[in-house]
Amino acid sequence: MIAVDTFQTYLQNKIAYIEENLIPALEKQGVPSSLYESMKYSLMAGGKRLRPMLVLAVLEALDKPIERGIPFAVALEMIHTYSLIHDDLPAMDDDDLRRGKPTNHKVYGEATAILAGDALLTRAFSHIAEAYQVHSDVSPATIVGLIAELGKRAGAKGMVGGQMADIEGETKQLNLEQLEFIHQHKTGDLLIAALRGGGYLAEASEAQMDALTRYGVCIGLAFQIQDDILNVEGDAAELGKAVGSDADRQKATYPSLLGLAESKARLVSLIEEAKKALVDAGIEHSALSPLADYVRNRNK
Amino acid sequence: MIAVDTFQTYLQNKIAYIEENLIPALEKQGVPSSLYESMKYSLMAGGKRLRPMLVLAVLEALDKPIERGIPFAVALEMIHTYSLIHDDLPAMDDDDLRRGKPTNHKVYGEATAILAGDALLTRAFSHIAEAYQVHSDVSPATIVGLIAELGKRAGAKGMVGGQMADIEGETKQLNLEQLEFIHQHKTGDLLIAALRGGGYLAEASEAQMDALTRYGVCIGLAFQIQDDILNVEGDAAELGKAVGSDADRQKATYPSLLGLAESKARLVSLIEEAKKALVDAGIEHSALSPLADYVRNRNK
């Protein structure tokens, strides 16, 4: 077991390690400076770095060097960042603030924000291909597997499809099943890609891959339930974005469909299920265990 | 030499072959239907299919089976299509018509158009990874090389960077060098990716790769000069889009900077240079030769 204060230090160290690898992964030479600045602005705007963190935690859990996970971890953060830039656009969620800062299009304009998102998405794939080409511990077949996994989870069947269903759902009465479809894809799929990608890189067994996937499904939903709860009970200053906005927009959420108490109970049981998956894979004494608690207890 | 009418048949056959492979490459199961329809609408909206055509022509020129090029060719057309969807958005070029049909956002709305572009871009990479994984003639190392090449040419240093420079250039007086930077990246880079990707798949020699790259640089610029000329002299019905719009917007073009006669002379010399590259690579008796003429003579 990792104590809470030790885990805070763990998180800080990992965030620092991830962040020092983000900027060098961007192309700069030959890139129009406004495009580069816009990409860098959103990539370095903070955040929990949860997806890269999961990649490194899987490698650690399976006794592999974490530096092997860095190119894939960085690519995931690029894809997560592009999705936030595009989601914030006026034609989508039309948000002015993200992590307490003006959203990308508020600073750079809509055209640049669209292109910065496109370029981050493109760079995610080319960075994996380029960075691992010179990495002796990662075979070309593994690189191809990583790209296939990431593309599947980030695309029309995954994250983009989830965002599409979310936008269409805004004008409808959703039931719990439809809400879970949205969250499983919009949020869960990229977390699963992080875990499974980490598994590929760590040469996990098939049973371990299954367990990592189950863990990902659980923390993906848990993450979203906590998001919904924070939109009811959270602190706007801490969150860096408005609270109460879901209720104002009459948006379907776990609290609106299940009530707050039942939502919290579901959150607890999902975290238990996530930890059970770790036990099944024999990796419960790793940072993945406190990371599950962190998803549940986070206040931003 | 291939006669002109034979070449027309060649183009039609190749377009049919390419188009029958586009839809099966899209994911459908588990994709929100509006997203799928929007992706399909733009992917199947016609067009010259020049990028996939170049991939197949390189394989033919180097005596390799063209079916080996299909997944990469399809991915290129997905990336070209996404770039058109995003370029047409109100925040970018704000176009209502593309190839004589309403643009994607006019039919499906802006949010769906942004997401359809994102999903096509993502699918391009995952399709290459998935489709070639089961292809015995293409090694994992070649797949990684294709993805690195495509990502570099399509991203911030390539096509997206060219579009960024184009948008920024609209409010400036551009000189010829700046105009060529825009076109080399916005149009040329994806053509070069097609040629070099075809070269990788055909196991081209380094000298042949260099020649293919030079050919790509020349036809990329030639393509854009002809585009500019058609905007002055072309037929709107044939083109499926307005003519005279560049002059109305006081946009920097080859005719506005060099005059029409000098632009046409430059077009001729670029096509000659492209053909010389083919001679150097020993592949001048291939469809790449009439394809260069086609870039110059096209009327849409």
Cα gap B266→A113, rounded to integer Å: 35
Which of B96-100, B244-248, B279-283 has the lowest average pLDDT?
B244-248
Question: Contact at 8 Å (CB) between A132 and B143?
Answer: no
**Partner residue facing B161 (CB), from A32, A157, A160:** A32
**B249 CB neighbour count, 10 Å cutoff:** 11
Bridge partners, A97 (sequence order): A102
User: For B88-119, how does the pLDDT look when each residue is reduced to its tens digit (9 = 90+)?
Assistant: 999 999 999 998 899 999 999 999 999 999 99
B39–chain A Cβ distance below 8 A for any pair:
yes
Domain residues of chain B, as ranges? Answer: 4-297
Cβ <8 Å between A123 and B86: no
| Angle of the B140-154 helix axis to the A140-154 helix axis, nearest 10 | 50
| Per-chain mean pLDDT for chain B | 94
Q: Is A206 helix (H, G, I), strand (E, B) or coil?
A: helix
Q: Which residues of B touch A123 (CB under 8 A)?
A: 151, 155-156
**A4 CB neighbour count, 10 Å cutoff:** 11
Kindly state the tokens that stand for B206: 């380094």
Question: ipTM of this predicted complex?
Answer: 0.96
Q: Across residues B259-283, what is the average pLDDT? A: 96
Phi, psi dihedrals of residue B148, rounded to the nearest 5°: -65, -45
Q: What are the Cα distances from residue B165, in Å, to B178, B186, B265?
A: 9, 9, 26
Cβ <8 Å between B125 and A123: no
Q: Scanning the structure block, which residue is given the tokens 């400036």?
A: B172
Cβ <8 Å between B163 and A115: yes
Query: Which residues between 112 and 131 in chain B have a beta carbon less than 8 angstroms from any beta carbon of chain A?
Result: 112, 114-115, 117-119, 121-123, 125-130
Cβ <8 Å between A34 and B86: no
Classified by CATH at the fold level, domain A4-297 comes out as Farnesyl Diphosphate Synthase (1.10.600)
Kindly state the tokens that stand for B23: 């839809």
Q: Whole-model pTM?
A: 0.96
**Partner residue facing B157 (CB), from A27, A110, A140:** A27
User: So what's the pLDDT on residue B52?
Assistant: 98
Q: What is the dihedral of CA B26, B32, B37, B38, to 10 degrees?
A: -90
User: For B182-226, how does the pLDDT look when each residue is reduced to its tens digit (9 = 90+)?
Assistant: 999 999 999 999 999 999 999 999 999 999 999 999 999 999 999
- Per-residue confidence band for B4, with pLDDT thresholds at 50, 70 and 90: low
Cα gap B147→B151, rounded to integer Å: 6
Name the minimum distance, in Å, from the CA of B146 to any CA of chain A: 9
Q: Which residues of A touch B126 (CB under 8 A)?
A: 147-148, 150-152, 155
B242–chain A Cβ distance below 8 A for any pair:
no
Q: Is B97 helix (H, G, I), strand (E, B) or coil?
A: strand
Residues of chain A with pLDDT below 70 are 1-4, 240
Q: Which residues of B touch A164 (CB under 8 A)?
A: 32, 34-35, 112, 115
Question: Contact at 8 Å (CB) between A213 and A196?
Answer: yes
Buried b (16+ CB within 10 A) or exposed e, A196-212: bbbbbbbebeeebbbbb
Cα gap A49→A78, rounded to integer Å: 10
